[in-house]
Structure 1
Amino acid sequence: MNQDSRKPTLRERFNISRLAIQHFRFTILFWIAITIAGLLAFSSLKYALFPEITFPVIVVNAQAPFETVLETQTQLTIPIEQPLKSISGFRDVASTSYPGRAIVNVFFDVGTSLVKSSERVEKALDKLSLPQGTTYEVIAVNLNETGVISYAVVSDHKSLEDLTAIANQKILPKLADLPGVLKANLLGDGSSIDPQDKEENSSPLTQKYPTLVRFNGQEGLAIQVIKESRANTLDVVSQVEKTIGELQPLLPDVTLTLAETQAEYIREATQATIDSLILAIILAVLVIFPFLESFRATFITALAIPISLLATCIIMAIFGFNLETITLLALALVIGIVVDDGIVDVENIARHIDQGETPKQAALKGTEEIGLAVTASTLTIAAVFIPVAFMGGGVGKFFKPFGLTVSAAVLFSLLVARTLSPVLASRWLKPRKQRKQNQNQREFPLISSYQNLLDWSLHHRRIVMVIALISFIIGVALIPLIPKGFIPNLNRGEFNIVYTSPLPKRLLTLDSPQPPTVTPPSGQTGAFDWISQLANSPQTFLLRKTIRVGKEFETILQDIPEIESYYTVAGVQGEPTKGKIYVNLKHDRQLTTDEVKTLVREKLPKLKRVTFSVEDIPFIQTEAEKPLQIAIKGNNLITLKDFAQTLKTRVQDFPRLKDVALSNQDDEGENTYKLERLGGQPVIYLSANLASSKVGLEDAAKEIERAAKPILPPDITLQRWGSSAQSNDVLMTFGRTLALSIILMLVVLIVSFGRILEPIVIILSLPLSIVGAMLGLLITQSDFGVISLIGLIFLVGLLDKNAVLLLDYINQLRQAGKSREEAILETGAVRLRPIMMTTASTILGMLPLALGWGAGAELRQPMAVAIIGGLITSSLLSLIVVPVLYTLLEDGWIKMFKKH
């Protein structure tokens, strides 16, 4: 029968490739237009480290004429807390009470409008009847509005008063005018200039909490630039750097030195990810040629990668995404998938050409054969990742760009493979008449061996399923041995030393009044003498003590050769007893960031009643400073304090933990003069840093919880706080997301196959990847956290792709009249090569990420390692298990096991 006279089949009717080949000019012009639009979109994308997420916090800073902390908490703090809990979007409330002062932090759900939240808080407080003499201010804080760059302002010839005048008159106004700058703070005298206040105030200066500043051991000032929440970090920093460069020649005798910035690491990390992405593309393409043995076929297949990625940039630009670690990871992840669709289509067309068909006939027939499998498998990958884009909470907001980027990329790759690739193949591919005779001889042993193994497996199905079950059990058994956390710690070459100087002994009881005015010692020079002129107050006295502690720590830092610079601020966040030293390491250092932190922690002097903590730079700002923080809550203050002390004693020597501390004590166990509450209950925070980047945050948190469980009083509860709370949320959220992804994948497969058998086979074969993924993570000691979980979700989609290729062709051959066993064996011979090609290209595409090169490698590596390990085991096992499971289910395997 003539092919054109017969009735088209369902495959032919819905074959988009046929339409693309018939209208090839339109197809080519369409993709040229998409490529040009993609280039324009790509050029508009900004670089960043992470997605821009709003973490809204409203701070109520209230003061009243109370002399003791207990009075303040009872009559001021608690009355303020009560009405705030019913506000829309409310997540939690935390408060700290000092004598005569209450600070209440109201945390709202991620993404809640900061302006509306602030208005709601003010409205609730307006209705309160507070004690006479009470004053308060409501401050809206976005944790994403961070200091992106700081400059030290020092001089060998000018006084601090002169430096202050120069900064206020010549530097701050210039910086505050820059686009994307929220405000420019002058540290060292407590002033800042806010762009929003410039037109309203006759004076551009707004008084803030005083601070003292030192840079590389020299007293001075510092300028801190804070970006708007939606501003791009690198854009703001570039403008600031340019402006400072223009100002420096105009300021004789004043040196402006870069003290602290996020930008350098962001640049290095994004560039390293882009380099890995480019190398992944090259390796994925190189592996195709040995299989196809045709430059034209390889070029057609490889063309899908840049076109699909550029088309994805259009979607990223529409949604306002950045080229950040997360979206770049998404693009690197889909390299294997993008090239897979083209491989399968072009390989099948080339096979038909080798069998004697014309390129156009081969393109039509080849795409009809493979169309359903390619479409179904790619749509299931999109179905797997779409739920990732719409996860709830902070995790969902963080990974929305990732999920949408992956989904867009795989859908574009499907369109390219179903339209452009067949068009080019029908025009460019030629019959390979000169094909080497020994190719079949080279391929034959592998195909023959696989068919023999497949034939043996079909007659020993129980053994095959036992092997599959054992591999799954081994994979699950490995999970407890793998570090678990939220996001891996990064070797950023920078860290903070956060410390607290001691309060006078007379202030360390709950009923102590505020300290009396202290007159600074006569003859004091430099910053101490100058700051005393600003305010002859107890705050000044405490600031001087705090900066002296910083000076003692600096003597240790200056002798460590790996350290490039150190920048000390006393009076952090308005607390005069709190100091921070930002330490920047040299690029050509011999030690890692972890090793330098350990060295610093060992060498820092143990000063009496001074607590210090050597901390990583948080790359997602949370309500907590240290990564591990446990809130110990209870209504009985005595029981609460006793239990907190007992728990600290139990865990402070755990090898995974460093700098264990309680929020109500100094290092000698002395009480501080503040009371804290969380969620309406008294609270004491137990906080700790992780001993190294190899320690999982989730593991450390669970270790503390296990230590607390046997001794936990009935009226005491534990609540994770900060990053440790997020790590737990991540695992739970991803578990629900994975379940939803599998359900959506099942729906797509049922629609594609028209029955339940094949989808059930595919779903049951998914766990085959877990043993390889877990082995990879265990060997490299990579975190089982957010990034590796993404790799596992990807594996679900990729394993499904291979299974669909096998089952779809088996069904086609059986419909053509072949027996089930013949169809399975022939499918093995036909589909082995494309499966090997897609697996090899994906593994090589992930290799640059897995090798851990460049800045931010710790973030990329877990995903790549999980994918490579999982692909190796799942591909080997699925080639056997999928056909065997297919026959078992079709035969009614329950009945078979009963017979035996």
Structure 2
Amino acid sequence: MIKFLEYFINNSRLNYALLAFLLFLGVNAYMNIPKEMFPVVELDKISVRGYYGGASAANMDKMAVRDIEDAMSNISGIDKIEATIAPGAFTIILTLTDNANKINLLNKVKDAISLSKQYLPSDMLEPTATLIDKNKPLIRVSVSSKTLSKGDLNEIAQDVKSKLSKIQNIAEVGIWGASKEEVSIKVNSEAILAYGLNPSSVVSAISNLSYIFPIGNIEEKGGFAFISTVNGKTDAHEWEESILNIDDKYVRLGDLAEVEIIYPQTSTLATFNNNETLTLVLSKGEQGDALKLSKIVIAEVEKLQKSYKNVIFNTYKDSSIPIKKRLDTVISNLMFGLILVFLSMYILINLRIAFIVALGIPFSFIIGLLFIYYLGYSINIVSLLGALIVIGIVVDDAIVVSENIQRHIDEGMDIKEASIVGVKEMMLPVSLATLTTAAAFLPMFLMHGEIALFLILVPIVVVLILLGSLIESFFFLPLHAREVLKKSNNLVDWTGAQNFYEKLLSFNIHYKKTFLLTFLVLVPLLTVLTAKSMKFQFFPNFDGNNLYVSAKIDINIPREDTFALSKKIEAEIMKHGEEFSLKSISATTGYRRSLSGETEFNNNVFYITLELYDRKDTNFISEYINPILNFSFIFNDPDKRRDKKTYELAPRLQEIIEPFREKYNMLELGVIEDKAGLIRSDIQINLSGSEDVVLEASIKELEAALSKIEGVSNFSDNIKYGKMEYKIKINSYGESLGLSEASISKVLSDFFLDKRQSTTFNSGGVMEIKTRDLNKNKKATLFNFNISLNDGRYVKLTDVASIIKIRDYESINKLNGSIVKTVFANLDKRVITPEEVLEQLNPILEKIADIGINVNLLGEKEKSKQLKSDMKSSLILAMFLIFISLLFIFSKVKYVLMVMSVIPFSVLGALLGHKLLGIPLTMPSIIGILGLAGVVINDGIIMLDFLHGTHESKEFFTRAKHRLRPILITSITTFLGLFTLIFYATGQAVILQPIAISIGFGLIWGTVLNLLYLPTLYAMVNHIKPIR
């Protein structure tokens, strides 16, 4: 290793060539690495979807879901099975365990579905199983026109979708408000009766009107040919003129039914700025760069605008805009931190060493960036903030090495020799110091679930940049030192500070027993009292760019009425556009993200998205420094108009829309804020294991209690009742006539199910042919329906069967095979935390559990429990790794334990930092405290390594005061590197601000410990006396 190092230092041209090559690779990596707001935080999941139109949720559960769940429950590698069952459809989400083979599991799930198919209805399509893509929203494109028909606009939207889908790394393009063209045949059951026809025979004849499959081919020599049909008719008139052969009677289709070629009622309706539109929702894949893709999409839309003169295109909800602004902010914070570190070294050491150290930081980051790029990670808020966290730490290696080289030069050694010797001497201690820092972050790899996916980039970035720092300090820094350093007498004089420190330390050692006893009692006591006085929430509140209104009304309200109500609320919000700094507003009827965070499709729901302008700069750094450091030079950004943060505006928005709740008897109406992605709702309480009536009463009791707790923004449940269901029960008279439940159902489904009978082609591809009764949406049609018997007679449905009315739940939610009823709540965490809410609900929860109901707390409580478990194992491993690392330096265990004792005492500094800034403890705070262990220990190593082996007072104090400068310099540079994140975090960067607070303030207090407590403890153990 030493010879390799000498070879590099002696071959400067090779060294410079490698530096240039690394710089080129770094620029290339930065240009090509994906850039996004947050990393993907979703575990691998498999989605199983099934459809059977007309079935109630309860029937779907009995005839399909239960058997599929049973078949999957024995598959190893599935952590959780969640099912949502709605009328006519179900979705089963399988969450896989960490490191499971997802392709292998997908195949096993498909096999399980195939085995359960024998229990499904014969005309039900086999449920599909797919891996859930981890796509990210990119941009939305609205397509509207004042002159074109909806059908024409539909075709244009499909064409636009096709073109945008071809863009590389565009993973998905969905359309809200669109529908597919179909042949709608509305059968007149009264006409069928008048002609004396069998309804089933009529439907069978209709299903044979089109044939789209190949017939065959002829391979005659010299005349090869394919054989096919013309695939049915081309317009509605031709269809109506079709002659049907029904039971040897020839009847014109138009005499029995009305035929239309239509775009049926869509499942969703969309608006943009309160104007009806078709909305294309574009998502990118994991490897897509949001900044590049957005530019490509916008350029393509501009081309399309020129092609379609009668169409108005708008792009909005462009994720690249906030991503670029947030990344620019963090990058400028990095630059500012670099400047602060440089200035501190210039003031505390000298200009030449400051220059060398500052020059090494970018190359350390470039090396780290290369590792990150080739390992397949992205640049996002978390990875950049990880870099910001390490900026002050990464200079420690360079400071120690360059100072050692300077010391040898000042002692008269040749510059070239000093560069080699200086690095040799520091190679082991610097490597071990880096190892201890990495050891504190490495256990974060043991974390599980979505928390690990969200935070994994922090230890990755820290460790890789520290590795880059080692490479730079050992191979490239000596080259810079040879060119820059020289014998100098202009080092900052620390004599005064060292003498003051010597006196202070001597005073402590004079009263060492009293000092240590007071210290060992007071610090733990203050730590415990401070921790107990603080609130805990999983993530800090942060300011986003969006607010959302999620709404649900009675299930029996038609989609058109839901759409009209959505537009009214949208219009009311637009009246307050200036108050909210509204950039755009859009709405989707038929779709919403519920207050619990679940996706829901139904005719009685809608979702309004408010895109807001950026918040105005509130400090000098953001307003005047950042625009220079990110090279934008935009000092009065026109997009920065908003005065309040989104979580401050949310209560006001709720106040504006609240009157609509009572006026229209709405089931749910609440405001949702942007969240980090790990937690969908702050409070989630699952109840199971009892009768529905008992569970429903318990839910209502919990909601009554929530309504009285100040700070609860909104709450909801999943016990909404669905549409009325008519159950057909055949009687003995019907059975005596040869009818059965199956035969009656088969006839009725052809008229009431909007059932696909056949397919044909149009210009866009396959088009379905569906039948329904002309008057299917009238109850009288069902009650007066006539059933054909085998002998040609007709009998009224109500004569051969009874019709039972029931009303079941709108949807059924299941977890691992058990039906669960759930209460969800979101909080204003400035007022109350989830822990405090659950504490108030605890008496009710205990009472519910006492009557035999299973109570399961999810939401933030579940994540906190998981974090606590992960942190225990991570902390134990971190301490063990640090212990092993220290044994390389100190031969005696007592000295290792002395250094490690600084770690628990330094926690007080982290807690006081949160107190000082008025920030609650969060999950990132805990992660920061774990990282603090590796950072604060380095100064302890610097101190005790020099004191180690001294037993005389004079030598002890001489060595101790010589450690004052390096300890203060490394602590100050680390703190200044974190300075902007601690005091000037904005937007989503606030999420990781607590990590910086824990490390920064913990290190400041740790510096006091390493300068006073640790030498005093060493003096007592080794019987060192104070200076007289």
Q: TM-score range by the shorter chain?
A: 0.7 to 0.9
2:573 aligned with 1:585: no
Deviations 1:656-715 (A, max 9, x none): 321111111489xx9843332212222112111221467655665666557623543353
Q: 1:842 to 1:166 in 2, by over 3 A?
A: same
Q: Which is further off, 82-91 or 420-429?
A: 420-429
Cα separation, 2, equivalents of 1:297 and 1:613: 58
Equivalent residues in 2 for 1:445-460 (5 A)? 445-460=496-511
The match for 1:631 is 686
Alignment counterpart, residue 147 of structure 2, candidates 146, 157, 162: 157
Tell which structure's C-alpha radius of gyration is larger.
2
Alignment counterpart, residue 552 of structure 1, candidates 541, 550, 568: 568
Deviations 1:69-100 (A, max 9, x none): 44443443322221212223212122233455
Equivalent residues in 2 for 1:293-308 (5 A)? 293=350, 295-308=351-364
- Contact 1:637-1:682 within 8 A present in 2 as well: no
Q: Secondary structure at the match of 2:850?
A: coil
TM-score of the aligned structures, taking structure 1 as reference length? 0.84
- Contact 2:551-2:666 within 8 A present in 1 as well: no
- Contact 1:92-1:108 within 8 A present in 2 as well: yes
Equivalent residues in 2 for 1:742-821 (5 A)? 742-811=879-948, 814=949, 819-821=951-953
2:851 aligned with 1:851: no
Q: Which amino acid letter does the alignment assign opposite residue 539 of structure 2?
A: I
The match for 1:3 is none
The match for 2:1014 is 882
- Contact 1:185-1:191 within 8 A present in 2 as well: no
Q: Which amino acid letter does the alignment assign opposite residue 309 of structure 2?
A: P
Cα separation, 1, equivalents of 2:487 and 2:985: 42
Alignment counterpart, residue 815 of structure 2, candidates 678, 681, 687: 678
Cα separation, 2, equivalents of 1:886 and 1:14: 34
Cα separation, 1, equivalents of 2:467 and 2:156: 57
Cα separation, 2, equivalents of 1:40 and 1:67: 56
2:652 aligned with 1:599: yes
Q: 1:369 to 1:696 in 2, by over 3 A?
A: farther
The match for 1:530 is none
Name the structure with the higher strand share.
2
Equivalent residues in 2 for 1:236-635 (5 A)? 236-293=293-350, 295-354=351-410, 359=415, 363=419, 366-367=422-423, 370-426=426-482, 428-433=484-489, 435=490, 440=493, 443-465=494-516, 466-504=518-556, 542-560=558-576, 561=578, 562=580, 563-572=582-591, 573-587=600-614, 588-604=641-657, 605=659, 606=661, 607-620=664-677, 625-635=680-690
Q: Secondary structure at the match of 1:856?
A: helix
Shift of 1:627: 4.3
Cα separation, 2, equivalents of 1:206 and 1:754: 81
Equivalent residues in 2 for 1:125-140 (5 A)? 125-128=113-116, 129-133=118-122, 134-140=124-130
Deviations 1:300-320 (A, max 9, x none): 121220111111111112101
Cα separation, 1, equivalents of 2:474 and 2:11: 13
Shift of 1:728: 3.4
The match for 2:703 is 648
Q: Secondary structure at the match of 1:576?
A: strand
Q: Which amino acid letter does the alignment assign opposite residue 554 of structure 2?
A: P
Q: 1:881 to 1:208 in 2, by over 3 A?
A: farther
- Contact 1:495-1:616 within 8 A present in 2 as well: yes
- Contact 2:268-2:588 within 8 A present in 1 as well: yes
Cα separation, 1, equivalents of 2:139 and 2:610: 14
Q: 1:806 to 1:426 in 2, by over 3 A?
A: farther
Deviations 1:168-192 (A, max 9, x none): 23x1111111111223222112459
Shift of 1:349: 3.4
- Contact 1:501-1:549 within 8 A present in 2 as well: no
Deviations 1:595-650 (A, max 9, x none): 22111111112231331221123442x6x743432322224323322222212212
2:165 aligned with 1:176: yes
The match for 1:49 is 37
Cα separation, 1, equivalents of 2:284 and 2:976: 39
Deviations 1:384-422 (A, max 9, x none): 222224533333333333322211211221232234334
- Contact 1:630-1:721 within 8 A present in 2 as well: yes
Cα separation, 1, equivalents of 2:523 and 2:3: 39
- Contact 2:387-2:462 within 8 A present in 1 as well: yes
- Contact 2:512-2:1016 within 8 A present in 1 as well: yes
Q: Which amino acid letter does the alignment assign opposite residue 269 of structure 2?
A: L
Q: 1:418 to 1:882 in 2, by over 3 A?
A: farther
Q: Which is further off, 21-30 or 598-607?
A: 21-30
The match for 1:122 is 110
Cα separation, 2, equivalents of 1:18 and 1:431: 22
Q: 1:486 to 1:283 in 2, by over 3 A?
A: same
The match for 2:791 is none
- Contact 2:42-2:453 within 8 A present in 1 as well: no
Q: 1:830 to 1:423 in 2, by over 3 A?
A: farther
Cα separation, 2, equivalents of 1:104 and 1:580: 23
Q: 1:399 to 1:579 in 2, by over 3 A?
A: same
Cα separation, 2, equivalents of 1:847 and 1:372: 30
The unaligned stretches of length 5 or more in structure 1 are: 1-12, 193-199, 505-540, 893-900
Deviations 1:850-891 (A, max 9, x none): 223543231242222222211221111221111223344567
The match for 2:243 is none
Q: Secondary structure at the match of 1:287?
A: helix
Cα separation, 2, equivalents of 1:308 and 1:834: 21
Number of residue pairs matched? 819
Shift of 1:375: 2.2
RMSD: 3.3
Q: Secondary structure at the match of 2:498?
A: helix
Cα separation, 1, equivalents of 2:936 and 2:294: 43
- Contact 1:389-1:401 within 8 A present in 2 as well: no
Cα separation, 1, equivalents of 2:441 and 2:932: 11
Percent identity reads 22
TM-score of the aligned structures, taking structure 2 as reference length? 0.74
2:965 aligned with 1:833: yes
Cα separation, 2, equivalents of 1:130 and 1:582: 42
Q: 1:357 to 1:246 in 2, by over 3 A?
A: same
The unaligned stretches of length 5 or more in structure 2 are: 182-213, 215-230, 235-261, 592-599, 615-640, 723-806
Q: Secondary structure at the match of 1:496?
A: strand
The match for 1:86 is 74
Q: Secondary structure at the match of 2:603?
A: coil
